[in-house]
Structure 1
Amino acid sequence: MTHKWPMVTGLALALLALAAGLAVGTTPYESWHLAARWTARVGFSVFLLTYLASSLHRLSPAPWSRALARDRRWWGLGFAASHSVHLVALVAAVMLDPEPRTFASLVPGGLAYLFILAMALTSSNTAMRALGRNWKRLHTVGIHVIWLIYMLAYAKRIPVPETRAIGLVMTTLALAALLIRVLAYRRRVMPAFA
């Protein structure tokens, strides 16, 4: 039970972001859009901890990175919990939006949620044993699909003046996270050159 705190943290932070968005907005439309935006940012933060856990430990072995890697499953479940809150806010925001979304615009997020669900449902030792090597494939592909969707979602904000700053910051964080993973992978496959 002591290692489950990352899951509770992810959920609590998302609920706080949801409540803040709903409290700050002056109309239901604005409130739900703020809630969706802020819960997505919380989810991205929790996602980055999950995405980088083992890489940070490989590159910088220390008690803090060992604890992060040890609790990676719970950070992943924390991300799934926080993004479930985001889904509620997003659905409400989309329903209040006067311009309906196209089916094509919903595909990337839908794909991400399919992977989030599949990874959450298989985040157990029993699932690992049952899936064998396919467990690693699912989680590796899934985490990179989610990373790509986040990165593209933030990168598309860069050309728009009102969202350029957040787009630049979040895209940079996503690319830096990928670079850290690549460096950790290189250290793992070429330890003699590390």
Structure 2
Amino acid sequence: MEKTWPVWIGGMLGLAAIAFAFATQAGVVNQWHEAAHYTARVGFPLLIHAYVARPLVELTRSELAKYILARRKYFGLGFAVAHTIHLAALITAIEVSGEGKGIVTYVFGGAAYAILYVMAFTSNTAAMKAMGAWWKRVHRVGIHYLWFIFFQSYAGRMADPEQAMVAIPFTIIALAAAAVRFTAWWKSRQRKRAQADS
């Protein structure tokens, strides 16, 4: 439990987001519509923790960064739990409203869930050994893709006055996380160059 708490947090936040939507919204359609929004939002911080865990350690060597890195897998699994609840809320919202999504949303959103579940089900030592070098490739591409899905979703809503209050800070957080990863990658590259030249 000491290390796995992000998984439980993911489940509790996802369910709390649905409860909050039902407590604050009127009408079943609107309740499920907002539940889909809220469940996506509560999972986002868990993804960001997993996204920046190792780069933060490389950049800061702080105890907090090491604490996050030690639980990176569980932050990822917590996000998977929260986002599964989001998927259920989203499907229900589509069903009760009768309003479908565009083909682009289904294709790219479906790919995100496929990647998410591949990563979740291979987050163990046995899968890591069986997949070899492919394990790191799959997880690296996967987490970048999941980051991108959130980034483009929130960045695309910044101009909407009704959604800007959430879209702008979440976009900034996504960009800051990407900056952390890029900075860590750049510094690692510079160290390798210096070692090769010495």
Counterpart Cα distance in 2 of 1:135 and 1:183:
23
Structure 1: 5+ residue stretches without partners:
none
What is the aligned partner in structure 2 of residue 64 from structure 1?
Answer: 64
The structural deviation recorded for 1:188 is: 2.1
- Per-residue CA distance 1:104-134 (angstroms, 9 max, x = gap): 2211211110111000000001100000000
Aligned-residue RMSD, C-alpha: 1.5
Q: Which amino acid aligns with 1:72?
A: R
User: What's the TM-score, normalizing by structure 1?
Assistant: 0.94
1:151 partner SS: helix
The residue correspondences of 1:27-106 to structure 2 (distance < 5 A) are 27-106=27-106
The structural deviation recorded for 1:159 is: 2.4
2:162 partner SS: helix
Counterpart Cα distance in 1 of 2:153 and 2:42:
15
The structural deviation recorded for 1:33 is: 1.2
Q: Which amino acid aligns with 1:158?
A: M
The structural deviation recorded for 1:10 is: 1.4
Counterpart Cα distance in 1 of 2:97 and 2:146:
25
- Per-residue CA distance 1:143-184 (angstroms, 9 max, x = gap): 011111111111111222222232221111111110110001
What is the aligned partner in structure 2 of residue 127 from structure 1?
Answer: 127
What is the aligned partner in structure 2 of residue 149 from structure 1?
Answer: 149
Q: Hey, which bits of structure 1, 4+ residues long, moved more than 3 A?
A: none
1:21 partner SS: helix
Counterpart Cα distance in 2 of 1:74 and 1:105:
27
Structure 2: 5+ residue stretches without partners:
none
